[in-house]
Every structure is written in structure tokens, then in C-alpha cells.
Structure 1
Amino acid sequence: MLSLLIGIPLLGAAVIGLIPERGNKQVHRTLALIFGLILLGLSLGLLLNFDPHLGSLQLTETVAWIPQLGLIYELGVDGLSLPLVVLNGLLMFIAIWASGQVERPRLYYSLLLMLAAAVAGAFLAQNLLLFFLFYEVELIPLYLLIAIWGGPRRTYAATKFLVYTALSGILLLIGFFGLSWLSDTNSFTYTVLQAHPLPLLQQSLLLIPILVGLAIKIPLVPFHTWLPDAHVEASTPISVLLAGLLLKLGTYGLLRFGLQLLPDAWEQAGPWLAGWAVVNVLYGSLNALVQQDMKKLVAYSSIAHMGYILLAAAAATPLSLVGSIFQMISHGLISALLFLLVGAVYTNTGTRDLKLLEGLLNPERGLPLIGSLMVLGVMASGGTPGMVGFIAEFVVFRGSFPMFPLQTLLCMIGTGLTAAYFLLMVNRAFFGRLSEVAIAMPRRRVGERLPAAVLAVLVVLLGLQPAWVTGWVEPTTAHLLHPPAIATAPVTAAEGPLSLL
């Protein structure tokens, strides 16, 4: 079943790539929607086959691929990866829906589905080299999606993204080889490496390249500079995927590689990581306050909110780890919603400049629905009770405070700053008299607003019923903190075909 989450998007990319663009260009989008819907259905199907009471890996698949190199095709899902796999299916379908008419649709939709397969594979991989393979594969379609369909400075932004993320992969690979070599297991399997813990000094040395590599991907200050450029130049659907999914590969890695495989070094580094989280939250928030481009403002907001995940991961308490995973889902939904709405404003008005926009909530000639959804989105991001952002941040702060009270209090300032910069954005763009650039706006079809409406509903539903996420997560967080002492032998070439447990 897990292999289908990788294979179906790849099959879709191949099918779309074989259909020429001459004739009806809608066929490529229709096929992409069909395969995206299948991917979403399979992702939701995991919930039916997953036992939420177990904290260990489930639905595992294992086959010897290149065992001489330690590369084993090993997939599995637990409460850490399950919500992110479902998020991948949801946001990919929404991104396809929101894409509409694009130039070169055959290449565009093929790249989107390739990206979906790579992200799903990274979240499901239970072998370090397999994770690295998917981690690198996702760079290619995302680079092309920015470089071909991006804004005026798309080449610069795409190249900067590629260089930064390639460096991230190199650092991760160094850490992964070090884990296998120093553990003397000749294996890259998570469970094997976890059963052979290293001394503190070796863990600390390996944590450095892994942490810096993940910090580039998240991104954390000072490795963040590629993100605002990429968001500003990327098209709206690509910004949705970049903020909602791709950044989560880094935060996922913090828990999977830092906490799970290097627990002693992670505990020693906890205070420093919490301080880093404070810098990230305050720096991102203060930069968001001075932005005039709505998209750049939301991009810096994403940088700030990544700091909450780092704080919770650094505290490493049962409650804070639940909060870190919940914050990943919360940020994925809210940031996707905000980027969709900013994209709708740009499509209708031709600008994202807050100096030029005003009065978009005008019920007759403005964008009242977009404005209403934007108010909901910024309230959720600011931590308004009853929405998913409040639950996520509350659990993060409540779980982190016993370990790092000062750092938690400083990070809480970020919630106030979030309310401040989003209030300024909404007040400038949506209230007051309708600006001249918005007077001649064309009327948009209701179907173009459906993706944002779906995300808005989820933001409220998960805020009112957080157990729909936490119920799947809690056993796994306990398992991450107190894993069973079971040694697992590496898979050899002699082992049989794919086994589904």
C-alpha cells in the first residue's frame, strides 16, 4: 500500500508525459486531477489501515535493492509520518486544482506528480540512503517548476534554492555515512541504527552536519535567505507546496534523525536549539512587520512559525513532541491557505504591494469572499482560539515551558507579533476605500475559490476537534522518547520479495 503512494504519482507523470500538447490542453489537467484524487484517496486510506494505539512502524515493506551499498527499499509509517503523508495528498490535489491553465501543461503536471511521489517517499522511507534519494529527487521538479513558471527573477530564485538545498543534501549524506560507519553495523536502516547507540562525543559530531543540513531545508536563520526569494518568484500552487510540504521535510528530519538516532547529543544541544528557535521566531516576525509585498510577508511568517517546531523538538517532552507534529500540520494548512489567498489577490488586481491595495472587502466591487477567508487565515495563524493554530501553539508552549521557560516566553512574543503584522496587512489591503488598481477587477468563478474554502474548513474543524490529529500521534511520540531495546539485523540480499505486514 505504501508503494502505491509513490507509484501512482509516478504512473500519472508518465501517462501525462506521453500525451502530446496539441489539441485540448485540458486533458493534462484532468488526468493530473484524477491521479491527484487517487493519491489523496490512498493517503486517507492509510487512516483505515493504521492502528493508532501502536507507536511502532506499521504497514512496513522491505525488499533488498542494493544491499552491498546498504540501500534497502524499506517503507513504513508511524504517527510521525502518517499526518504528513495525508497532508501531502491533500495539498498536492489542491495545488493541481489551483493551477488552472498553464503553459506547457504536459511538463508542468508531470513535474507536480513527480514531486508528490518524492515527498511521499521521503516521509515513508525507513532507510537513510533511501530517504536521501527521495530528498534529492524532489529538488529537480521543484527547481524546474520555479525556473520555468516563476516570476521575473525566477532563474535567480530557482538557482539559489537548488544550491542551498543541494548543500543541505551533502551535509545530510555526510552525517548518514558517519552514523553507519561509527555504529559498525554496515546498515542505514533506522531500527538497526537506533538499536546501536553511539557514545555522546560521536553523536555530537554527527549531529552538527545533520542539524545544519536540516536547518537549510526548514529553513532556520541564518540559512533562510533562499526561502523569501523562492516564494516571491514561484507561482501560487508552488508556494503552497513549498510552504505546506517541502519545509516539513526538514522539521520531520529533526525528530527522525536528531531525536530518534542521536538522543544523547540532542538532549545536550536542547538549550542551544531552544535559543535558536527564539532567534528564528523573533527574526522572522520582525522582518514580516516591515514587508510591503504580501507574499514576502507570508514567507517570513513561515520562517517564524518554523521556530515553534524547533522549540518543541528541543524540549523533547511527550507533550511538546505532540505539539511539534501538530504545528507541522497546522502550519501546512494555514500557510497553504494564505498563499492561495495572496495569489487570488494578485490574479485579480495584478499587484501584491500593500501601498497600492485598499478596500478589497468591498462587497460590490471588491473581493469579499477572499477577504473573509483571509481574515480567517490570519486569525488562525495568530493563534485565535477555536482554530488549528491556537491548539498547535498552545500544546507547543505548554509542553516546552517546563524544560525552557525563558525561551518559551520569548517565543510567545512571536504570537503577538504575528497578530500585529497580519493585522497591518489586512487593514491596509482589505479595509478602507477601494483602491484604483482594484476597481476594474474581473469577476472570478466560484470554483477558483474552492481550494481556499476547503482549507479554511479544515483549519476550523481541526481547531475544534484536535483529537483527529493528536490521536494518531501520541503513541509514536512516546515511542520516540522511550524506544524498545530490540536489535534488528540488516536485510541481506538473500531475503525474499516484498513483504507487507
Structure 2
Amino acid sequence: MLSLLLLLPLLGGLTFFVLPSKLSSPTYRIVALVISGLVLAWTAVVGQQFNLSQASSQLTENLDWLANLGLNYRLGVDGLSLPLIFLNSFLTVIAIFASPLEINRPRLYYSLILLLNAGVAGAFLADNLLLFFLFYEVELIPLYLLIAIWGGARRNYAATKFLIYTALSGVLILSGFLGLAWLTGSLNFDYDPLMAQALPVVSQCILLGFILVGLGIKIPLVPFHTWLPDAHVEASTPISVLLAGVLLKLGTYGLIRYGVQLFPQAWHLLAPYLATWAVVSVLYGSLMAIAQKDMKKMVAYSSIGHMGFVLLACAAATPLSLLAAILQMVSHGLISALLFLLVGVVYAKTKSRDIETLRGLLNPERGLPLIGTLMVAGVMASGGIPGMVGFVAEFMVFRSSFPVFPVQTLLTMVGTGLTAVYFLLLVNRVFFGRLTLELANLPPVSARERWPGVILAILIIILGLQPNLLIQWSQNTDSLLTAFHTAPQALLTSLPR
């Protein structure tokens, strides 16, 4: 069942190269929507087969591949990966639906999006360290091309910068995995959350350091964040949706899977420093967002701040905090996708993203009233207003982290207040006030531009009012802490917190 989550988008992406080249761009878009819809439907089938009461990996698949290298085809899904698989499939449909009807080189464009979906799904499902690394690197190629070919004026610079940073991230992660195999004397890279416990704590800390820096680039965390604003500004709107909504989650997913679970003793030792790192990322991202004049760059810096909440929850490493981390990942994916979609519509209609020049877009007659209303909803969700999924996620992060790291939690809570500051600046300046003559009688918003935002906003509210619809998939987070439960208690109690 899990292999179909990879084969459907992979074969679907390759299908575009055998389709007649004379088909119109809207026809290719319909084909891509059908294929991505099938992937989403099959993800729902996998979710239906998922046993909520079973904490361990489910629907596992195992096939010997390159056994001499330790690379085996092993897939599995649990409460950590399943919500992210749903997010990946859903936002792929949204991104394709939001893509322009007429686009240059449509066959390549839609095939790359589907290949990107397959690569991300493979990384979330991999139960072999080298297989995870393989998929982690595979998704780099489609995203690089999607930015470099269909991006903005500085697309080559942004795409190259993204390529260099992400390639370095992969090298560091692979170094950690190879070091683990070398020090344990094992040539088998099949995932085992207990395999690193035999190592001295110093060795664990060194290996974990490589993985943390590698994943910190992907998330991204300060000071490894500089590639993200450039990539977002130059990427097209659908690609920004996938980048913020899905791609960044590979880093935070890796924190739990290959940090918390693989190196429990080292994680306990480094946890206070990781919580402080989260504070730096949250405050820096929020303050930089306040200083931005470009709407898209503001949303990009807000992502840096909100991903710091995930690091804080992971640092606490309790069942509740890991559940909060998963919820925050999904929440950020939905909210950031909504915000980037709306910024894209504003730019398409006004040809500007400058906060200093745009005014009065909420005008009900000549402005963009629906887009403004959705933007207010997205801003409220990002700011943690009750009744929306952002509030539930952030409240759980703070509630679960405060008993472990009270000072760091209080400092990150300041980031929530700063979120309200910079997004209120955006809404107040861009959507309220008098609509200028230059912006009067804007082109109407099409269904392609309208419905993705409406659907995302509805989902954000539904999950905010009924968070158990999401929490139920990951409620057995005790299984993610198996390594902690089996680690030598004398060592754990002697480590500083």
C-alpha cells in the first residue's frame, strides 16, 4: 500500500513525457490534477487502514535491495509520518490547482511537481537511514528546477543558493548516519531507534551535532536560514506553497525520527541548548518579519519563527510535546500555504507586494474583498487566535514545554505577540484605508485563485474547532520515546536539564 504513494506520482510524472506535446497547458493541468487527486485518495485509503490503537510502525514493506551497502527498501507509517503524508498529498493538489492555466513548458512543470511529491513521501515513509537520505536528496532536484525555470528575476541566484545549502545539509546528515554505522560496527542501515544507545554519550553528541546542523539548514533555523527568503521571493506561488507547507517539514520530521529517537542520551544533554536555539530562531524570525516591506518576504521570515516552536517542543521531548510538535508542523503547513497563496493573488492583481504602496484592498466594490477576508483569517490563525488550528498547536507547544524549559518557553511566547505585530502591520496597511486610484477596478479573482484559499481557511477553522480530527492520528506518541524509556535511567537522571 505504501509503495503506491511513491509509484502513483512517480509514474504520473513520467506519463507527461509520453503525452502528445501539442496538448494545451490547461489539459496538462487537468491530467496533473487527476493524478494528484488519485494520490490524495490513496493516502485516505492508507489512513483508513491505519490502526489508531497501534503505536508501532504499520503497513510495513521490506525488500532487500543493496544489502552489501546496508540500503534496503523498507517503508512504514506511524503517527509521526501519517499526518505529514496527508499534508504532502493535499498541498500538492492545492499547488497544482493554483498553478496558472497557461504556463511555459507545462509537461516539465507538472511532472516535476509530481516527482517532488514522490520524493517527499519517500522520505517520510523510509525505515532505512540510507533510503531516507536518498529520498531527501531526490526532492532537491525537482525543487531546484521549479525555482530556476519558473521563478522570478533572480531565480538562478535563489535556486543555486537553495541547491548549495540543501546539498550541504544532505552531506552532514549522511556523515552522521555513516558515523553511526562505523562506530556501532554495523553495516545495516535499517532504522532501529535503539541502535545508538551502546555508544558513549560523547560519540552520540558528535553524531547528533552533524544531524542537527544538517536538519537545521533544512528547517531552517538561525543562522542557516538565509536561503529561505530568497527562495520564497523568487519562487512562483504554487512552489512557495510546497516549499513552506511541506519541504521544511522534512527537517522537523528528522529532528524527531533521527534525533530524539536515535540519540536519547545525547538529546537529553543538548536539550537546553536546543531550546535556547529555538528562542533565537523565533525572536530573530519575528523581528526580521517586522522589518520587511515585501509581503512575501515577511511571510517567509514568519516561517522561520514558527518553525522554532517545533524545535522547542522537540527539545522538551515528552509525549505531549512531541504530539504538539506534530500538530504545529501540520498547522504551519496549512497556514503558510494559505498566506503564500493570498500574497500570490495580490501580486497577480496589483503587480506589487510592497506594503508601503498598497492600500485599501479590502474595498468591497473595487478591491479584493474576499482575498482580504481570507488574509485576515490567515493572520488570525498564524497569530494563535482561539478557534483556529494555530491556537491549538501553539498552546500545546507552550503547555508541554513550560514544565521542562520555563524560561525558554516564556521567551518564545514573545514571538506569538510579535506575530500579531507584523501581520497586523501587513493587514492594516495593505487591506484597510482608502483604495488608491492606481489600484481601482482590479481584475476579478478567478475560481482557480479563489477556491484553494477558501478550502484552506475552512480546514484551518475546522481543525481549530475539532483538533481531535488531527490529534487522533498521533496520540500514541509514547512510541516515539521508546529509546528514552529503555535508556539507562542512571545516566538520564544525571544529565542536566
TM-score (norm 2): 0.96
> How far did residue 192 of structure 1 move?
6.8
Corresponding residue number in structure 2 for 1:298: 299
Task: Give the residue type in structure 2 aligned to 1:199.
Answer: P
> How far did residue 383 of structure 1 move?
0.2
Task: Give the residue type in structure 2 aligned to 1:317.
Answer: T
Corresponding residue number in structure 2 for 1:14: 14
Instruction: Establish whether residue 252 from structure 1 lines up as the match of residue 219 from structure 2.
Output: no
- CA RMSD of superposed structures (Å): 1.3
Moved more, 444-453 or 363-372: 444-453
Closer, same or farther: CA 163–437 of 1 in aligned 2, 3 Å: farther
> How far did residue 193 of structure 1 move?
5.2
Q: Deviations over 1:332-377 (max 9, x none)?
A: 0000000000001001111100111000000000000000000000
Moved more, 411-420 or 430-439: 430-439
Which is bigger in relative contact order (C-alpha 8 A, separation at least 6)?
Answer: 1
Moved more, 45-54 or 215-224: 45-54
Q: Deviations over 1:18-75 (max 9, x none)?
A: 2243242322111100000001111122210001111110000000010000000000
Question: How many angstroms apart in 1 are the aligned matches of 2:214 and 2:360?
Answer: 43
User: Where do residues 318-467 of structure 1 align in structure 2 (5 Å cutoff)?
Assistant: 318-467=319-468
Corresponding residue number in structure 1 for 2:61: 61
Question: How many angstroms apart in 2 are the aligned matches of 1:124 and 1:99?
Answer: 27
> How far did residue 196 of structure 1 move?
5.4
SS in 2 for 1:482: helix
Question: How many angstroms apart in 2 are the aligned matches of 1:234 and 1:278?
Answer: 28
Moved over 6 A (4+): none
Task: Give the residue type in structure 1 aligned to 2:125.
Answer: L
Q: Deviations over 1:108-151 (max 9, x none)?
A: 00000000000000000000100000000101000000000000
> How far did residue 189 of structure 1 move?
1.1
Question: How many angstroms apart in 2 are the aligned matches of 1:432 and 1:249?
Answer: 40
SS in 1 for 2:16: helix
SS in 2 for 1:352: coil
Query: Does the CA contact (< 8 Å) of 1:185 and 1:193 recur in 2?
Result: no
Percent sequence identity over matched residues? Answer: 64
Moved more, 464-473 or 65-74: 464-473
Corresponding residue number in structure 2 for 1:83: 83
User: Where do residues 155-170 of structure 1 align in structure 2 (5 Å cutoff)?
Assistant: 155-170=156-171
> How far did residue 474 of structure 1 move?
1.9
Q: Deviations over 1:263-288 (max 9, x none)?
A: 10001000000000000000000000
Question: How many angstroms apart in 1 are the aligned matches of 2:193 and 2:260?
Answer: 15
Moved more, 79-88 or 436-445: 436-445
User: Where do residues 24-423 of structure 1 align in structure 2 (5 Å cutoff)?
Assistant: 24-100=24-100, 101-191=102-192, 194=195, 197-423=198-424
Question: How many angstroms apart in 2 are the aligned matches of 1:469 and 1:366?
Answer: 36
5+ long unaligned stretches in structure 2: 488-497
Query: Does the CA contact (< 8 Å) of 1:187 and 1:193 recur in 2?
Result: no
Task: Give the residue type in structure 2 aligned to 1:4.
Answer: L
SS in 1 for 2:381: helix
Question: How many angstroms apart in 1 are the aligned matches of 2:59 and 2:422?
Answer: 44
Question: How many angstroms apart in 2 are the aligned matches of 1:334 and 1:445?
Answer: 21
Q: Deviations over 1:270-324 (max 9, x none)?
A: 0000000000000000000011100000000000001100000001111111110
Question: How many angstroms apart in 2 are the aligned matches of 1:191 and 1:456?
Answer: 39
Task: Give the residue type in structure 1 aligned to 2:405.
Answer: F
5+ long unaligned stretches in structure 1: 487-501
Query: Does the CA contact (< 8 Å) of 1:65 and 1:73 recur in 2?
Result: yes
Task: Give the residue type in structure 2 aligned to 1:280.
Answer: S
SS in 1 for 2:76: strand
Question: How many angstroms apart in 1 are the aligned matches of 2:445 and 2:455?
Answer: 17
Report the number of matched residues.
Answer: 485
Question: How many angstroms apart in 2 are the aligned matches of 1:46 and 1:30?
Answer: 24
